[in-house]
Amino acid sequence: MPQPASATVTTIRPPKGWAPLDLREFAGAHELLYFLVLRSLKLRYKQTVLGAAWAVLQPLLTMAVFTVVFGRLARLDSDGLPYPVFALAALVPWTYFANALAQASNSLVEQHQLLTKVYFPRLLLPLAAVIAGLVDLAISFIVLLVVLAWYGITPTVQLVAVPAFALLAAASALAPALWLAALNVRYRDVRHVIPFLVQIWLFATPVVYSSTLVPERWRPLYALNPMGSVVDGFRWMIAPAGHAPGRELALAFASVAILLTAGLYFFRRMERSFADVV
Amino acid sequence: MGHAVIRAERLGKQYRISQVRGPRTLREDLVDLARAPFRRRGSAGASADDATVWALREVSLEIQRGEVVGIIGGNGAGKSTLLKILSRIVAPTEGWAQIEGRVGSLLEAGTGFHSELTGRENVYMSGAILGMRKAEIDRKFDEIIAFADVGPFLDTPVKRYSSGMQVRLAFAVAAHLEPEVLIVDEVLAVGDAEFQKKCLGRMQDVARSDGRTVLFVSHNMDAVQRLCTRAVLLERGRSIAAGATPAIVAQYLARDDAPSSSGAWIDLSSVERTGTGVARVVQARYWSEDTVAGGHPYPDGPLTVGLTIETASACTIPSLAVTLYDMLGTKLVNADTIAAGRTLRLEPGEHRVTLRIPELHLNPGVYRMGFWLAGPLGAIYDYVPIGFELEVAGLQAPGLGRAPTDDGMVTCRLELMDAD
pLDDT of residue B400: 42
Cβ-defined contact of A276 to B15 (cutoff 8 Å): yes
Residues of A in contact with B130 (CB under 8 A): 118
B134 close to A (CB below 8 A):
yes
**Which pLDDT score, from 0 to 100, does residue B73 have?**
86
pTM (2 decimals)? 0.75
Residues of A (131-190) whose Cβ lies below 8 Å from B: 185-190
Whether A43 sits inside 8 A of B114 (CB atoms) is: yes
Cα B96 to the center of its chain, rounded Å: 28
B205 touches chain A (CB under 8 A): no
Q: Looking at residues A20-26, what average pLDDT do you find?
A: 80
List the 182-211 stretch of A: residues with Cβ below 8 A of B: 185-190
Task: Report yes or no: A35 at the B interface, CB cutoff 8 Å.
Answer: yes
Lowest pLDDT segment from A173-177, B164-168, B197-201, B283-287: B197-201
Within an 8 Å CB–CB cutoff, is residue A114 touching chain B?
Answer: yes
Instruction: Assign A187 to helix, strand or coil.
Output: strand
Question: Residue B397: pLDDT above 50?
Answer: no
Residue A274 has pLDDT above 50, yes or no: yes
Is there a contact between B117 and A42 if contact means CB atoms under 8 Å apart?
yes
pLDDT band at B24 (very low <50, low <70, confident <90, very high): low
The CATH number for B271-392, chosen from 3.30.365.10, 2.70.50.60, 3.40.630.10, 3.90.1300.10, is 2.70.50.60
Q: SS3 string of chain B?
A: CCCEEEEEEEEEEEEEHHHHHCCECHHHHHHHHHHHHHCCCCCCCCCHHHCEEEEEEEEEEEEECCCEEEEECCCCCCHHHHHHHHCCCCCCCEEEEEEECCEEEECCCCCCCCCCCEHHHHHHHHHHHCCCCHHHHHHHHHHHHHHHCCHHHCCCEHHHCCHHHHHHHHHHHHHCCCCCEEEEECHHHCCCHHHHHHHHHHHHHHHHCCCCEEEEECCCHHHHHHHCCEEEEEECCEEEEEEEHHHHHHHHHHCCCCCCCCCCCEECCCCCCECCCCEEEEEEEEECCCCCCCCCCCCCCCEEEEEEEEECCCEEECEEEEEEECCCCCEEEEEEHHHHCCCEEECCEEEEEEEEECCCCECCEEEEEEEEEECCCCCEEEEEEEEEEEEECCCCCCCCCCCCCCCCCECCCCCCCCCC
In a domain, A2, yes or no: no
Determine, for residues A14 and B27 on separate chains, whether the beta-carbon distance falls below 8 Å. no
User: Quick one: pLDDT band at residue B372, thresholds 50, 70, 90?
Assistant: very high
Q: How far apart are CA A40 and CA A168, in angstroms?
A: 21
Q: Which has more pLDDT, A269 or A44?
A: A269
CATH number of B4-10+57-254: 3.40.50.300
Most confident stretch, B187-196, B198-207, B294-303, B343-352: B343-352
Instruction: Chain B: give the shortest CA distance to residue A115, in Å.
Output: 7
Chain A interface mutation, best of B11, B89, B215, highest count of A Cβ atoms under 10 Å = B89
pLDDT of residue A242: 57
Query: Does the CB of B131 have a partner CB in chain A at under 8 Å?
Result: yes
Is A17 an interface residue toward B (CB < 8 Å)?
Answer: no
Report whether pLDDT(B19) > 50.
yes
Q: What is the pLDDT of residue A23?
A: 79
Residues A79-118, buried b or exposed e (16+ Cβ, 10 A)?
Answer: bebbbbbbbbbbbbbbbbbbbbbbbbbbbbbebeebbbbb
Q: Pick the residue from chain A with its C-alpha nearest to B19.
A: A277
Task: Tell me what pLDDT residue B398 has.
Answer: 42
* pLDDT, averaged across chain B: 82
| A228 within 8 A of A205, measured Cβ to Cβ | yes
Per-residue pLDDT at B40: 47
Query: Looking at residues B24-37, what average pLDDT do you find?
Result: 67
- Chain A nearest-CA distance from B94, in A, is 6
Size of interface A-B (CB pairs under 8 A): 125
Residues of B in contact with A47 (CB under 8 A): 116
CB contact under 8 A, A117 and B111: yes
Q: How far apart are CA A165 and CA A234, in angstroms?
A: 7
Q: Is A275 on the interface with B (CB under 8 A)?
A: yes
Q: How far apart are CA B181 and CA B203, in angstroms?
A: 12
Minimum CA–CA partner of B124 in chain A? A35
Q: What is the pLDDT of residue A134?
A: 95
Mean pLDDT in residue range A189-214: 91
Residue numbers in A near B24 (CB within 8 A): 186-187, 277
Please state, rounded to an integer, the average pLDDT across all residues of chain A: 88
Q: Is A238 contained in some domain?
A: yes
pLDDT at B84 over 80: yes
A7 lies in a domain?
A: no
Q: Does A49 touch chain B (CB under 8 A)?
A: no
| pLDDT at residue B230 in the model | 93
pLDDT at position B41, please?
47
User: Which residues numbered 211-240 in B keep a CB inside 8 Å of some CB on A?
Assistant: 211-212
8 Å CB contact of A13 and B92: yes
| Domain total in chain A | 1
A10 → closest Cβ in B103, B108, B121: B103
ipTM value for the complex? 0.83
pLDDT of the residue at B179: 83
According to the model, what pLDDT value does residue A46 have? Answer: 76
Please give the average per-residue pLDDT across B63-87, as a whole number: 88
Is some CB atom of chain A closer than 8 A to the CB atom of B348?
no
- The answer to whether residue A12 is domain-embedded is no
Residue A255 lies in a domain: yes
Q: Which of A102-106, A270-274, B160-164, B400-404 has the lowest mean pLDDT?
A: B400-404
Backbone φ and ψ of B48, nearest 5°: -65, -20
Using an 8 Å Cβ cutoff, are B393 and B296 in contact? yes
Pairwise CB contact (< 8 Å): A272 & B112: no
State percent of chain B over pLDDT 70: 83
Q: Which residue has the higher pLDDT, A19 or A227?
A: A227
CB-nearest to B211 from A2, A32, A42 is A2
Backbone angles phi, psi at A101, to 5 degrees: -60, -45
pLDDT at res. A33: 94
Q: Please report the pLDDT score of residue A75 as a whole number.
A: 85
Q: Give residue A270's domain range.
A: 23-277
**Domains of chain B: which residue ranges?**
4-10+57-254, 271-392
**Which candidate from A13, A46, A115 shows the least CB-CB separation from B96?**
A13
Over residues B322-342, the mean pLDDT reads 87
The pLDDT of residue B409 is 80
Q: What is the pLDDT of residue B85?
A: 94
Quote the DSSP letter at residue A119: -
User: Quick one: DSSP state of residue A136?
Assistant: H
Interface check for B59 against chain A (CB to CB < 8 A): the answer is no
